[in-house]
Amino acid sequence: MKVLLDTDIGNDIDDALTLSYLLNHPDCELLGVTTVTAAPHDRAKLASAIAYGRGIPIAAGAARPLQREPLQEPPFSRPGSWPHEDTFPNSAVNLMREAILAHPDEVTIVAIGPLTNVAQLLHEEPGLPLKSIVLMGGRYFTPGDRPEWNIHNDPEAALAVFGSSLPVRAIGLDVTRQVTMTEAAFRAHFTGILADFAEPWLQLRGGVTFHDPLAAATLFQPFCGYERGFVTVDDKGFTAFRPDPAGPHEVAVTVDGPAFLAHHLSFVA
């Protein structure tokens, strides 16, 4: 499975868990990592620390949403003494473009942050031979008085992605909130760089919800059940879903949380 990871790594620890998972999964060929929103260069440093020595191309992307002021804070985590790169000469959009053109109709973008980079790519290259997009974002079947964070950060970008002709799989809060770990359990399992990078998040929020790792894992195992249809996005970032068997969007409805966690933890520690 040829994958590009687009991430806002550095706040919630689940982005770092996702990157580590993709690096360690034997069926994943990670072609590159791009970072998005609020100090993307600093986020690229964090990604390079986790992927250090693996030869994975990394590029910083958009620092701001397409049309709005950014909502995201700069990253909480710091690379500290972990070896990492400091310069990233390529741009996010160019890195993605080059990888997709080198492997036409084979590459899936796993987008686990605001969709600004992906929307810019689709705007610049509307006919790009991309296989599909898998994203963590939105809420489709459960009520909530706030929009999901990734979509809320750049609704215009999300509208562009869902409005494209590409197949899109959305893993939303409906299922990700069912996959959690307490702070004590997290500390007992994770060590090294992931434990270090998680510390600011654990001090702020306590436990961990595996939003982004679940989205990535659906590439390799059928942990979720889906419904097909059409996703729309309003100007505040709220998502809505209209079922249609012929629709281009696949939205997660159910999840086998225990099976997913056992799978994920077998690759990441």
Q: What is the pLDDT of residue 120?
A: 98
Q: What is the pLDDT of residue 247?
A: 94
Neighbours of 231 (CB within 10 A): 25
Average pLDDT value over all residues in the chain: 96
C-beta separation of 46 from 10 below 8 A: yes
97-127 per-position pLDDT tens digit: 999 999 999 999 999 999 999 999 999 999 9
Map tokens 């693996």 to a residue.
54
- Taking alpha carbons only, the member of 129, 147, 144, 132 closest to residue 71 is 147
Torsion of CA 156, 159, 161, 163, to 10 degrees: -140
51-95 per-position pLDDT tens digit: 999 999 999 999 999 999 889 999 999 999 999 999 999 999 999
Residue 130: is its pLDDT beyond 90?
Answer: yes
C-beta separation of 156 from 62 below 8 A: no
Residue 5: is its pLDDT beyond 90?
Answer: yes
User: DSSP assignment, residue 103?
Assistant: S
Q: Give the pLDDT band of residue 197 (cuts 50, 70, 90).
A: very high
What's the average model confidence in pLDDT over 152-178? 97
Q: What is the pLDDT of residue 154?
A: 98
Q: Give the pLDDT band of residue 187 (cuts 50, 70, 90).
A: very high
CA-to-CA distance for 133 and 137, rounded, in angstroms? 12
Residue 23: is its pLDDT beyond 90?
Answer: yes
Domain with residue 66: its CATH number is: 3.90.245.10
| Predicted structure pTM score | 0.97
Map tokens 């933890």 to a residue.
265
Map tokens 């919630």 to a residue.
12
Number of domains in the chain: 1
What three-state secondary structure class fits 264?
helix
Cα Rg, the chain, nearest whole Å:
17
Six-digit token string for 26: 């034997």
Q: Give the pLDDT band of residue 144 (cuts 50, 70, 90).
A: confident
Six-digit token string for 35: 């970072």
What's the average model confidence in pLDDT over 231-253? 96
C-beta separation of 264 from 212 below 8 A: no
Q: Which domain holds residue 238?
A: 2-267
CA-to-CA distance for 14 and 154, rounded, in angstroms? 20
